Amino acid sequence: MAHGAFETTYAAAGDRYERLPYRRAGSTGLDLPALSLGLWQRFGTDNAYETQRAIILRAFDLGIAHFDNADRYGPPHRAAQQVFGEVLAKDLAPYRDELVLTTKAGNPIGPSPYLKGGSRKSLLTSLDHSLRDLRTDYVDVFYHHRQDPATPIEETVGALADAVRQGKALYVGISNYDPERAHEAAVLLREAGVPLLVHQPRYSIFDRGPELNGLLDLAAADGFGLVVYSPLAQGLLTDKYLHGIPADARAANSAFLSPDVIDDTYRKRAAALDDLARTRGQSLAQLALQWVLRRPEVTSALIGASSIAQLDHNAKALDAAPLTDEELALIDEHGVHGTGLR
């Protein structure tokens, strides 16, 4: 994915570490920015390279030094890593030691049995490919993307630990694991001398899964941090769908958000949350981000961005006053678990 050679004029903002708080990942020694940039969507052939580059560089200027990737991200698969690899090579290489780069493997990226699952072959082969895509000789965090009941967890955990021993990753993580399996992985990794750094679950005002299934409590007990994805519920926790579905909106053309969930019940709940946000001098998106970060178990919230303006807006999520008990109660009333979920 070459876009022509050029010499960068980029120099990182000198005040980048004054813009966002950094939070400790569980009981480890690593701090992550409260907001991290996820390249799950909009970082592939569906968006102009220069737009993607500008968003990545702006994120770093805002103090977002954590960039979350996976072999599956695009479209097509691996494209997001290749985009980031080009930006790293041309712009961010002088700052590599300040970046926390992650990748994941295990979610299907092709029909081959070796392009999915939790086997040693699948994970370590994908990691080697990802390092080439990212144009770096190590990632800071290597995740197993989704639990695989068909593979012994000892094999999966062993592959993650070996990635660290081989110098290809500094830390390891898991994503989309249920609490029982997450605890098992945490115990095995601790025994292997490679503690579990982070778990990446879905969590938002409309998806209380980590509260209901005990994952938040488990994170505190087992000493790993949580890096939560979809804190804006695929855009449902913004003002985008309060009055219908815009033609360019994600719900109009995404496999992850169906127009069917944007009904009167959703709009009534979202409008009430939007009213609360406005009384606080925030947008609904900023309120939603602040809400997930109210929990100390949550190290960082992943945000996506299709423009610099959107990124700048969401980066101001923590500028407002802390949420009060009364405001949290209102959010519980209108932020009903399962709203908008398929």
Quick: pLDDT tens for 297-314: 999 999 999 999 999 999
Q: What is the CATH number of the domain that holds 98?
A: 3.20.20.100
Confidence (pLDDT) at 214: 98
The C-alpha angle 79, 81, 83, rounded to 5 degrees, equals 70
Confidence (pLDDT) at 217: 98
The secondary structure of residue 229, as a DSSP letter, is B
Half-sphere CA count of 199, side-chain side, radius 13 A:
29
What stretches in the chain show pLDDT beneath 50? Answer: 5
Indicate whether 340 belongs to any domain.
no
Indicate whether 55 belongs to any domain.
yes
Burial group, residue 252, by CB count within 10 angstroms (0-12, 13-18, 19+): exposed
Rounded to the nearest 10 degrees, the angle between the axes of helix 325-334 and helix 264-279 is 170
Confidence (pLDDT) at 9: 86
Confidence (pLDDT) at 223: 98
Indicate whether 337 belongs to any domain.
no
Indicate whether 8 belongs to any domain.
no
Domain of residue 38: give its range.
18-232+294-306
Confidence (pLDDT) at 255: 58
Indicate whether 123 belongs to any domain.
yes
Indicate whether 58 belongs to any domain.
yes
Indicate whether 67 belongs to any domain.
yes
| pTM summary value | 0.94
Confidence (pLDDT) at 257: 66
Indicate whether 165 belongs to any domain.
yes
Confidence (pLDDT) at 259: 81
Neighbours of 27 (CB within 10 A): 13
Q: How many domains does the chain divide into?
A: 1
Burial group, residue 11, by CB count within 10 angstroms (0-12, 13-18, 19+): exposed
The first and second tokens of residue 280, run together, are: 């606080």
